[in-house]
Amino acid sequence: ALTQVLGAFHHLTYLDLSPTNVDGIRGQQNETEERSLCSSWASVCASLRRVKFPSGTEWTFGKEREGGNWSWRPKRLPSAGRR
């Protein structure tokens, strides 16, 4: 459902799906699913470059090094889910 909505945001670069303090829930990390979601969302929102999931993983779209391929790369944020 989010894929359809994101197509309306032509300049969106960062999507933060972090849980709020009210949630009290820490998401489970599933790297394969998160990478797939990033790719799906970017296919309808070409400006999207970063996505932060409830698992605390932030995905960034870019080149790993000069001349490298563009891809989604995960980065686990150290304070994720700790309140």
Choose among 20, 47, 51: nearest CA to 33: 51
Dihedral class, residue 49 (left if φ above 0, else alpha if ψ from -120 to 50, else beta): alpha
Residue 83 has what pLDDT? Answer: 41
Output the pTM of the full model. Answer: 0.78
User: In this predicted model, what pLDDT tens digit does every residue of 22-74 receive, in sequence order?
Assistant: 655 556 678 999 999 999 999 999 999 999 998 889 999 998 777 778 899 99
Mean pLDDT within 6-32 = 81
Residue 21 has what pLDDT? Answer: 64
**Alpha carbon distance 73, 64 (integer Å):** 8
**Alpha carbon distance 79, 76 (integer Å):** 9
Residue 81 has what pLDDT? Answer: 47
